[in-house]
Amino acid sequence: MNTDAKRKALAGGIVAPLAGGQKTSMVRVGRETQGRGGKGVSVINGVIEIQGDHRDLLVAELTRLGYPAKRSGG
C-alpha cells in the first residue's frame, strides 16, 4: 500500500475537531512495543493504536485535519 492509499484510508475514519475557539490539548503520536511480543504499533494518545511505525504520516494527517499534533518518543 503506497503513502497516498494509506493517507486516504486513514482520513476515512477521522473527524476534524470542532471550530469555535475551543481549547484542545496536543495530540501525541508515539511508538510502543510493550505487551505486544516485540511488535511495534503507533499510538495516538494511547487510545488509537495503528500497527507499525507510521508516526510521521499520522502527525502530518492529524495536522492537516486541524488537530495540534506532535511526535513523541525517539
pLDDT digits (tens, 9 = 90+) for 37-55: 888 998 887 868 889 999 9
pLDDT above 60 (res 16)? no
pTM for the complete prediction? 0.52
Average pLDDT over the chain reads: 78
Q: When comparing pLDDT for 10 and 26, which is higher?
A: 26
Say whether pLDDT at 62 is over 80. yes
More reliable by pLDDT, 66 or 20: 66
Give every CB contact of residue 72 below 8 A, 6+ residues apart in sequence: 28, 29, 30
Domain ranges of the chain: 3-16+29-71
